[in-house]
Amino acid sequence: MTVIYLAMIGSWLIFSSSVLLAFIWAVRRGHFDDFDGAAASIFDDDEPYPSALDRFPRAVPGPQDLEEEP
């Protein structure tokens, strides 16, 4: 009986305390200092593209949506 409660409460504590530690780490490392930079970090210099990056195949004429093979 007690084993499962120990496992459950233990895991609750492990999960919650690890979240707390990660949060403190992120604050100290300054990961919450630059929201605009973080939000834009998924784009490269040539992005965001003016048109959608993903289209139905051959639905719209024009350049390929796939990134160019260099």
CB 54 to other proteins: min, Å: 4
- Token look-up 């973080």 returns 38
Spell out the residues 6+ positions from residue 17 whose beta carbon is closer than 8 angstroms to its own.
none
The distance of closest approach from Cβ of residue 6 to other proteins in the complex, given in angstroms and rounded to an integer, is 9
Considering only residues 36 to 65 of the shown chain, the ones binding other proteins according to CB under 8 A are 36-60, 64-65
Could you tell me where the beta strands, DSSP code E, fall in the chain?
none
Cα four-point dihedral sign 22, 28, 34, 38: negative
Task: By CB under 8 A, name the binding residues for other proteins.
Answer: 1, 3-5, 7-8, 11-12, 14-16, 18-19, 22-23, 26, 31-32, 34-60, 64-70
